[in-house]
Amino acid sequence: MEYVLLIIGLIVLVVAGELLVRGAVGLALKFKISPLVIGMTIVSTGTSAPELLVSIRAAIDGHPELAIGNVLGSNIANLALVLGLSTMLLPIAINRTTKTLDWPIMLLASVLFYLFGLNRNFDWWEGLIYVLGLVTFNFYLFWKSMRDNKSALIDDVDLEEDAKLNLPKSIIYILIGIVGLTFGAKWLLNGAVDIATNFGVTEHIIGVTIIAFGTSIPELITSVMAALKKQTDISVGNLIGSNIFNLMAVLGITSLIKEIPISDQVMQNDVFWMLGIALLLFPLMAVKNRIGRLSGAILFASYCIYIYFVVS
């Protein structure tokens, strides 16, 4: 039964995440928000909603290892696995803002997690710093988009299908997505905990592998489809935005609800992988202002190595 719950939970999360993203993008297009900002905020928030629901549920139910492992594992998977696979399919040009603003914010959030975790506990006030920082960053992105009048870029991006959504339909998609994510997170978490118990696998391993991969599926689908449609602003912005959201919103909001203990394994292993892959991304982006197939293969290989060390 636990396998059925796990699979159903994953499927519901993917479908609900897709509906939430489509509804949110359709809503954003009505207000003339640029594709890059949509990717960094609306899409990344929608595709990171599974991580948020799963982590909150895990913390409340007394499984902090799953909450932390889910976030760090997802951030590693987003850059190494998802971006790696996306760029292996189609090289992606890098927007200047991605290098000068988005990536530094992601790195700053990652370094802050390391500093916050030195006492092996993620406190409520640290979560508050994260949440306020994310609100400020998103407000700045929307303000800058409006100021620069980048809404003209929407004409160059293949978002016609989402643009056709009227306001009521967009809202309905968002509501269905939220409900689906709530139930999907519950079923996924219950199935994963039961499997870990049956096989004697630690919650940490389940969190950074199965749950992290499962909650990263919306990012994978969204980014691969964006790459195939040559919507590169959406693809890269979605992934970096998702990593920022995972740390600042998922951990931030979760810690406001319940403080999260952090294990030695996380601080001695996973956090350095997350920081290392984030640092690796910058030179890969800086070379020719694009991430090519070779760089994508390097990212993908780093994910395979990480998983090997986790399970070995």
pLDDT tens figures, 52-111? 777 887 888 888 888 899 899 999 999 999 899 888 888 887 878 788 888 999 999 999
pLDDT at 272 (0 to 100): 97
Q: How far apart are CA 20 and CA 57, in angstroms?
A: 19
Q: How far apart are CA 182 and CA 176, in angstroms?
A: 10
**List of domains in the chain:** 2-311 (1.20.1420.30)
Classify residue 229 by burial, with Cβ atoms within 10 Å: 0-12, 13-18, 19+: middle
At 147, give phi and psi (nearest 5°): -65, -45
Q: How many CA atoms lie within 13 A of 253 on its CB side?
A: 17
* 3-class DSSP state of 291: strand
**Entry pTM:** 0.79
Q: How far apart are CA 97 and CA 247, in angstroms?
A: 20
pLDDT at 44 (0 to 100): 63
Inter-residue contact 65 to 204 (CB < 8 Å): yes
Closest to 51 in 3D by CA, of 213, 187, 269, 239: 213
pLDDT at 278 (0 to 100): 95
Low-confidence ranges of the chain (pLDDT < 50): 150-159
pLDDT at 33 (0 to 100): 64
